[in-house]
Structure 1
Amino acid sequence: MISATAVGGVALIELGMALTPGPNMIHLASRAITQGRRAGLVSLSGTAVGFVAYLLAAAAGLSALFAAVPVAYLIVKLAGAAYLAYLAWSMLKPGGRSPFAPAGDLPAVSDARLFSMGLLTNLLNPKIALLYAALLPQFLDPHAGPAWAQLLQLGGVQIVVGLAVNAVIMLGAARVSGFLAARPRAMTAQRFTAGGLLGVFAVRTALSRTPVSG
């Protein structure tokens, strides 16, 4: 059984990561504004499955795999960095859009595509890969039972916190959009701030070191 300290530590880390602008936040906010809250919830279900996929991979030895086969981590890292760079450029380029900008007459996307995009966005999210590969293992207690069982419990805490934060952001996206739409300068500032942060995350992710086991 995991300790209350481990639960609190994972919850705080995930809270901080979920509140940091990243692929999940941007995708869910833009979908909710484009097609409404229902579309955001469908996308969020894909995000949830992505969390579960990482959790099962971690329980099966993801961090050990990355430590034993550095090229596997390198591939995940570079794919995530490239995706972050793409999201940053989509906001920073001339004519780029904020995720909270009114969507206009964009074509609707099917539920299947919404789900798959939410899933893919999460699977390519370098923050989540690093969380499961390098951070969660730090809360394992050799006296608290099998490592895989502890990882499942810690991952469950992360998933609950992550989905709760993303749901609140997604449900409030329309109000934020309306607030920013009435303030063009604030919208521009938000766009460049979010795009700049994503660019920084892309560089930091690309330059990060391969995690070591332990």
Structure 2
Amino acid sequence: MPDAHSLLLFVAAGLLLNLTPGPDVLYIVSHSLRSGARAGILAGFGITAGCFVHIIAAALGLSALMAASSTAFTVLKWVGAAYLLWVGVRMLFSRPSGAAPALAAAGPANAKSVFLGGFWTNALNPKVALFFLAFVPQFIAPGTDDKALAFFLLGVLFNFNAIFVNVAWALAAGWTARRVGLVQRGMHWLQRGAGALFVGFGLRLALSDSPLAPPATH
């Protein structure tokens, strides 16, 4: 596991990244605006459940990858770095959207469908799996014996923190239903800040040695 400083950085980065707009946030906010904060919170729980699919799969896959080939991990590291840089640059140069999209009128949300919709929105997004493989390993100490377990625990911590962010999005959406224009402007600048963070992590991953490789012996 990382030291206290690295763990705090991991938590802070995770919270900021969870605050940024994306498919998950859009799903939560739209349901909260259309059917109330409770529907948004339920959507967030579904997304959290879907995220566990990626955490478990990435932890097991990373362990198998490290056991099979260090070259394969190097390739994955570069792919992950390229992905983080691409996402970061895209966020930095994104343009604010125009008028707010109209929200369709909806009656009381069906709890099961809202939860499952959130689950599949996250579980079927391959970019989430790639994100975990690119982001989490940077916070695993090189000498960690059980890297798969460390990956899983960090993933659980990331997902646990995301619950509070998802609930906050749902509550905020309910409160600001009549201030959509203001929310959009705030989300745009938040997106730029997160873009800079993505670029930084991408460069860090690309320029560093494999964080999961055993320490070199002399």
After superposition, the Cα gap between the structure-2 partners of 1:29 and 1:129, relative to the gap in structure 1 and judged at 3 Å, is same
Partner of 1:111: 111
Partner of 1:4: 4
Please say if 1:34 is aligned against 2:37.
Answer: no
1:26-76 per-position Cα deviation (integer Å, ceiling 9, x unaligned):
211111121122212221121111221111012112594985997xx89xx
Pairs within 5 Å for 1:49-198: 49-62=49-62, 64=65, 97=101, 103=103, 105-123=105-123, 124=125, 126=127, 128-178=128-178, 180=179, 187-188=180-181, 190-191=183-184
The question of whether the paired residues in 1 share the 8 Å contact of 2:45 and 2:163 is answered with no
Query: d(CA) in 1 for partners of 2:73 and 2:117?
Result: 29
Query: d(CA) in 2 for partners of 1:188 and 1:109?
Result: 25
The question of whether the paired residues in 2 share the 8 Å contact of 1:23 and 1:125 is answered with no
Output the aligned Cα RMSD: 3.9
The question of whether the paired residues in 1 share the 8 Å contact of 2:38 and 2:170 is answered with no
TM-score, normalisation: structure 1: 0.65
The question of whether the paired residues in 2 share the 8 Å contact of 1:137 and 1:151 is answered with yes
When structure 1 is superposed on structure 2, of 47-56 and 105-114 the one drifting more is 105-114
Secondary structure of the structure 1 residue equivalent to 2:176 = helix
The question of whether the paired residues in 2 share the 8 Å contact of 1:7 and 1:157 is answered with no
Query: d(CA) in 2 for partners of 1:18 and 1:52?
Result: 15
Instruction: Provide structure 2 residue ranges, at least 5 long, that are not aligned to the other structure.
Output: 67-71, 211-218
1:76-118 per-position Cα deviation (integer Å, ceiling 9, x unaligned):
x8xxx9xx9xxx9xx958x761xxx7x4632444222211221
Deviation at 1:195, TM superposition (A): 7.8
Instruction: Provide structure 1 residue ranges, at least 5 long, that are not aligned to the other structure.
Output: 181-186
Paired positions, count? 183
Deviation at 1:170, TM superposition (A): 1.0
After superposition, the Cα gap between the structure-2 partners of 1:153 and 1:5, relative to the gap in structure 1 and judged at 3 Å, is farther
After superposition, the Cα gap between the structure-2 partners of 1:172 and 1:104, relative to the gap in structure 1 and judged at 3 Å, is same
Equivalent pairs: percent with the same residue?
22
Query: d(CA) in 2 for partners of 1:170 and 1:142?
Result: 38
TM-score, normalisation: structure 2: 0.64
1:188-213 per-position Cα deviation (integer Å, ceiling 9, x unaligned):
46547758969xx8xx9xxx9xx889
Letter aligned with residue 22 of structure 1 = G
Partner of 1:183: none
Deviation at 1:119, TM superposition (A): 1.4
Partner of 2:213: none
Query: d(CA) in 2 for partners of 1:58 and 1:194?
Result: 29
Query: d(CA) in 2 for partners of 1:129 and 1:113?
Result: 23
When structure 1 is superposed on structure 2, of 57-66 and 112-121 the one drifting more is 57-66
